[in-house]
Amino acid sequence: MGIGLFIYLYYRDTPLLFEQWLGLEHQVGSRTNELGNWSSFFRYNLPDGLWFYALLSAIILIWGKLPYRNDFFLVFSTVFALPYLLETGQYLKWFSGTFDVIDMLVYSAFGLLAIFLHYKTLTKPSHD
């Protein structure tokens, strides 16, 4: 989550209000050139994937071992589906924003990564 926040703060297109007050807004756009061809992915898609991974990992680690497995899977499935619903809503113009199929691929990759890395937590029997 911290890496996603760093990317957002350091490589975004528009300066924050405090940067404008301090006269630092001219530095914001110049940092994106350091990224080369991966600039768009690194600035927009990767932070989304990292935040999604962090959220799913937290849900798995906090609630994955509880004896109320049906409730956990309902919450996890809902959270897992949410970014896809939002992207689809953007495509259908139900929500403001730009639909991006790369976002959906990144959500899938990082969501599956969270499940894969925390699989033992999900399959470990709970102790009452």
Choice among 46-50, 68-72, 75-79, 108-112 with the minimum mean pLDDT = 68-72
Residue 111: per-residue pLDDT? 92
Q: Which residues contact 39 (CB under 8 A, 6 or more apart)?
A: 32, 33
Q: Give the pLDDT of residue 45.
A: 85
Flag whether pLDDT at 115 surpasses 80. Answer: yes
Q: Which residue has the higher pLDDT, 26 or 124?
A: 124
- Determine the pLDDT at residue 81: 93
Average pLDDT over residues 37-60: 83
The overall average pLDDT reported for the chain is 75
Long-range contacts of 89-96 (CB under 8 A, 24+ apart): none
Q: Cβ atoms within 10 A of the Cβ of 49, count?
A: 22
DSSP 8-state code for residue 64 = T
- Average the pLDDT over 54-83 and give the result: 81
State residue 9's pLDDT score: 56
**Token duo for residue 68:** 């109320």
Stated as kind and residue range, the H or E segment containing 5 is helix 2-11
